[in-house]
Amino acid sequence: ENNFYGLSGYYLFWKARRSGKAEDYYLAAVDFVRAANSGEKDRDAQALATEWTMAENCADSAIRIQPDNIPARNVKAVVLSEYRVQPMQAVALLRENEKRDSTNIETHYIYLSLLKKAGELDKAIRRCEKLISLQPQNPEFLYEMSGLYGMKGDSLNARVFLDLAVKVQRNAGSGIK
């Protein structure tokens, strides 16, 4: 799978170099992140570093062309967090993104992931509440909330959100609202 994303990333990178479009650089960056995050854990360190570096370079190019490109800025935040191990810089970038567009789901979800990884469960719950307020019928966010409460040891709320997620997911499949 990572070979597909890596090849796709290179194709999109060369397409972006020809077109000069921020969107093409962004799409290349996404595929390089996917390539870096997929595959075996014992992958060649140099290949992995190259994928992350290409993701960062493509995100930076998209941002240079279009400074308000929130999806590209979100990719940059992922690179800062996952590859550069600079979570505070990633958080600062996500906060800027949130000021630019407070309804961007991806920004909130990446921020939620960082908070969860840092063990900031109360803040992660508040972030997840924001996601649920933006997309109340998205079972993924309800499952996420259930997991957060479970991590806190709050089995009652974990069960409430799990039941709600299952209900929403069933209703979505049946067309019932």
Residue 102 DSSP label: T
Contacts 24+ apart (CB under 8 A), 20-26: 20/65, 21/65, 22/61, 22/62, 22/63, 22/65, 22/66, 22/69, 22/72, 23/62, 25/58, 25/59, 25/61, 25/62, 25/65, 25/72, 26/58, 26/59, 26/62, 26/69, 26/71, 26/72, 26/75
Residue 76 DSSP label: H
pLDDT by position in tens, the chain (length 177): 557 888 999 999 999 999 999 999 999 999 999 999 886 666 788 888 999 999 999 999 999 999 999 999 999 999 999 999 999 999 999 999 999 999 999 999 999 999 999 999 999 999 999 999 999 999 999 999 999 999 999 999 999 999 999 999 998 775 545
pLDDT, one tens digit per residue, over 106-125 is: 999 999 999 999 999 999 99
Task: Write phi, then psi, for 96 (nearest 5 degrees).
Answer: -60, -45
pLDDT of residue 86: 94
